[in-house]
Structure 1
Amino acid sequence: MPTQIGIIGAGGMLQYHAAGFRAAGAEIVAIADLNEAAAKAAADKWGIPAAYGSPEAMLAACPGIEGVAVIVPNKFHAPLAIQMLEAGKHVFCEKPPALNAGEVGQMIAAADKAGKRLMFNFNNRARPESFALRGYIGDGTVGRINSAQAKWVRRTGIPGFGGWFTQRALSGGGPLIDLLHMIDLALYFMDFPEPAVVLARTFDDFINDKGFKGPWGIPDREGVVNDVEAAAHGMVTFKTGQVLTLQVSWAEMVKREEVSVTFQGTQAGGKIERLFGSDGIDATAIDTCELYVQEHGNAVNRSIVTSACEDMGRIRSAQNFVLAIEGKEEPINTPDQALKLMKIIDAVYASAASGKAVEL
C-alpha cells in the first residue's frame, strides 16, 4: 500500500509538494483549508480526491493518513504541526520552521513524544548542486570550511503590502525569516557548528514603497501596518572558530536578485548561485556551481555541471520526506538543525533591536 498523505493549505507551494509526494510513490488522499472553496479548487486542479474545510474534518474522514504537509502562513506552522504530531502523523512543514526557536522546541517535543518524523522544506538542500557540493565536502576535497557567505538579495521583491508576509505577528519577520534558505544551506555545508556570537542590523527602508513590490506575491491590503524589515545584514561566529556572514533582502539597492552560498575551506572553496533576470522567474535564472582549488601551483576553478532544476529542489525535498518516513532514504534535514537555525534567526533580530552582539 502506498503511503497516504494529507495536505493542509491550498497555497502556491502545493504544486511542488504534490509532485514530490507522487514522485516517491505516495498517495495524496485529501487536502484541507479553512477556505473550503480554495481546498476544493486545489483538489480539482491537482487531482486530489477529497477536500475539507478543516484539518480535523480531514483526519476524521481519512484515518489512514500517515503524513501531513503543512503549507500555511508562518504563524500557524507550530500549532498545526503539533496538532498533527499529537494525532500520530508524520509532519512535513514549510519553511520557516516556526515564528521562533521556542516554538520549534515545542514541535520537537511533540515529535519525540509521538515517535513521528518532523521535517521541514529546506528545499535548497535538495538541489542537484547542493548534493554535488556536499559530496566534495564529505570526501575531504574541501577540508574544513572556515568561513561562508550566505546571500539572498532582491532589489524589488516585497511580496505584497499589508498581507501576512509583511505583518510580524503573522510572519515572524521579513526577508530574514522568509528567505532563510541560504543561511540554512551555508550551515548545512558547515555541518551545523554551535553558534557563539551574532552581530546584525536590519533596515526598513523601502518597506512601505510600492515601487519595490515583487512580480509575484499576494494582493495588497490597505490600512495594515508593514512592520517587518526590508533587509538584514549580520555575522555569526561559532564555537569552532568558523564564521558566517549573511545578507538578505526583499528591497535593497543591488544590481539584481542573487541567491548564493560561497564558502572557503582549508583545501578548496566553492559556490552555489542562482542569478535571476528582471522577471524574477525561475525558468530564466542562471545557475552556477563551482569549486575553487589549487593544483600544481595554479588557481583552478572547476565548473560543476549538474542536471537542471528550475524548482530549486522543492519537488525532491518533498519526495525525501516520503522516502524518509518509509525508511528508504535518510532525511535531508533534522529537527535539531532547524532549532539551531531558528536560534540564529532569533539572535539576528535581537542584535538588530539592541544594537549589540548577542551571545548564544
Structure 2
Amino acid sequence: MQIGIIGAGGMAAYHAKGFTLAGAEVVGIADPNKPRSEAFAATHAIPATYRTLKEMKTQHPNLDAVSIVTPNKFHASLTIEALQMGLHVYCEKPPARNASEMQAMYDESKRAGKLLMFGFNNRMRPESRAIATYIEQGEVGRINSAQATWIRRAGIPGFGGWFTDKELAGGGPVIDLLHMIDLALYFMGYPEPNCVLASTFHDFMGNASFKGPWGIADGTGKMDVETACHAMVTFKSGQCLTIRNSWAEMNEREVVSTTFQGTKAGGKVERLFGIDGVDETSVDSAVLYTEEYGRQVNRTIITEKDETMGRIANAMNFVKCLMEGEKPANTPEEALILMRITDAIYKSSETGTCVML
C-alpha cells in the first residue's frame, strides 16, 4: 500500500510513523514550502517531495491513499480532489470548517466508494479503548448525560497565525479542541442532536500571558476567533451533553476529560497536562463509578501510557482497514453530526437563542 502525505505540519510525523508501522509505504510528502517538506522527508526517510497532490499522483500512478495535514481551510478541497482521483483519505481534525464542507466530503466519499477517516485520535487512547469495552459489554447501560471538557488556562496557539484566523481555521477552541466532544458522542453512540444552546467568549486574545507553549509561530493574520465556549446539547434520544472548551480562561491547569453518567455506571477518561503542557509530565486515567453489593465503588482501570494520545494507533487503523479489513475507528457520518453541532454552537452564540437541528 502506497500513501502520500499532504502538508508537513506537526501532526504529519504521527501519520508517517503510524502508516509505516501498519505496513504501508510512505512514498512522498507534498507541501508548497519546499524547505519544510525536504526537512520532513529527510527526518522520516520519505523518498520524494512535491508541491501539490496532483504532482505527487502523477509521479506515483499506483498511489492508494493520502493523508491531509494542512490548515483547516484546505481539508475539504484537498479531500474531494483526492477522492476524485480514486484515493482513500485520512484527514486531520477537524474534518472541515463547517457542516456544509463536511457534507460535500461525505457525499464525494460515497460517490467514489473510498474510505474517508479523520484524526479523532482520542478514541484510540488506551484508556478510551478500555472504557469503550465496558460500554460495549453493557456494564454502563444507557448513557443519559456526559460532559466534554478541554480547558486551558493559557493556551492560545500563536497570535495572527492560521489558528487564530477564522477564514483559515473555521473557529477557535470549539474547532481546535473538539476531541472530547467527539469522544463523548462516541461513548453515547453518536445520537442525533436536537437543540444546542451556547455562549462563546473572546477574552485574552492577543495577550501574551495567555499564549500556548507549543512554539507555533505568530503571523500577520487575524485574531477573530473565540477563546472559550460553554454549551449544552440535547438529543432526540433524550440524552444530553455539556461542553466546555477554552484556550484562555481563568481556571486551574489544562484538563482534558470526558465524563458520563449511565444507568448502570458512570465513568471518566482524563488527561491532566503538566504545568507547561509537556506531555511526559502528564497523568492519564480511566475510572468507572458503579455500585457493587450495596456499596458505591470506583474502579480504576490500569492502562499503558501513550504519549501520542492515540495518534499513531489511529493512523495505523486507517491502513489496517484497507489492508486487513479492520473496522474504521471513525466514520464520515459521525463527522457530519459533529460539524452540525459545532455550526450550531456558533449560531447559538451569535443569536443568543437555542438552535434546533
TM band (smaller chain): over 0.9
After superposing the two structures, state which structure 1 stretch, 37-46 or 149-158, moved more. Answer: 37-46
> 1:117 & 1:344 partners in 2: Cα distance?
23
The SS at the match of 2:317 is helix
Per-residue CA deviation, residues 42-87 of structure 1 (Å, 9 max, x unaligned), is 1011100111111111110011110100000000000000000000
The SS at the match of 1:232 is strand
Give 2:304's match in structure 1, choosing from 304, 307, 314: 307
The SS at the match of 1:263 is strand
Correspondence list, 1:172-211, <5 A? 172-211=170-209
Give 1:297's match in structure 2, choosing from 294, 298, 301: 294
Per-residue CA deviation, residues 215-242 of structure 1 (Å, 9 max, x unaligned), is 11421124x3300000000000000100
Per-residue CA deviation, residues 247-286 of structure 1 (Å, 9 max, x unaligned), is 0000000110000000000000000000012110111111
Q: TM-score if structure 1 supplies the norm length?
A: 0.98
Superposition deviation, residue 141 in structure 1: 0.2
The SS at the match of 1:162 is coil
Correspondence list, 1:131-150, <5 A? 131-150=129-148
Q: In structure 1, what is the equivalent of residue 25 of structure 2?
A: 27
Superposition deviation, residue 168 in structure 1: 0.2
> 2:210 & 2:17 partners in 1: Cα distance?
32
The SS at the match of 2:158 is coil
The SS at the match of 2:348 is helix
Q: In structure 1, what is the equivalent of residue 44 of structure 2?
A: 46
Write out the 4+ residue segments of structure 1 that deviate beyond 4 Å after TM superposition.
Answer: none
Superposition deviation, residue 307 in structure 1: 1.1
Unaligned runs of 5+ in 2: none
Q: In structure 1, what is the equivalent of residue 152 of structure 2?
A: 154
> 1:165 & 1:217 partners in 2: Cα distance?
13
The SS at the match of 1:11 is coil
Per-residue CA deviation, residues 136-185 of structure 1 (Å, 9 max, x unaligned), is 00111000000000000000100000000000000000001000000000
Per-residue CA deviation, residues 6-61 of structure 1 (Å, 9 max, x unaligned), is 00001111111111101111110111001122111110111001111111111100
> 1:330 & 1:31 partners in 2: Cα distance?
27
Give 1:221's match in structure 2, choosing from 219, 222, 245: 219
Unaligned runs of 5+ in 1: none
Contact kept? 1:40, 1:52, Cα under 8 Å: no
> 2:89 & 2:119 partners in 1: Cα distance?
11
> 1:243 & 1:201 partners in 2: Cα distance?
17
The residue identity in structure 2 corresponding to 1:172 is G
Q: In structure 2, what is the equivalent of residue 349 of structure 1?
A: 346
State the aligned residue count: 357
Contact kept? 2:153, 2:250, Cα under 8 Å: yes
Correspondence list, 1:317-328, <5 A? 317-328=314-325
